[in-house]
Amino acid sequence: MACSACANTIAQAVKTLDPAAVVEADLKTKLVKIQTAKSESEVKFAIETAGYPVI
């Protein structure tokens, strides 16, 4: 995740999975914090499908 466009793409992917998810992007560390009731593996899959690596 490198810029706000990437952050939006990831936020969209996660919110498609869970509309109530909270997605917080930190553009300095290039990390996204996600609060969701969905399982970690579901969220990872959604983000990887959108084309971003999950650490």
Q: Which of residues 5-34 bind Cu ion (CB under 5 A)?
A: 5-6
The three-class DSSP label of residue 25 is: strand
Q: Cβ of residue 5: shortest distance to Cu ion, in angstroms?
A: 5
Residues 6+ apart with CB under 8 A from 12: 50
| Cβ–Cβ under 8 Å, residues 3 and 27 | yes
Q: Which of residues 33-52 bind Cu ion (CB under 5 A)?
A: none
Q: Cβ of residue 37: shortest distance to Cu ion, in angstroms?
A: 27
Question: What residues make contact with Cu ion under the rule CB under 5 A?
Answer: 2-3, 5-6
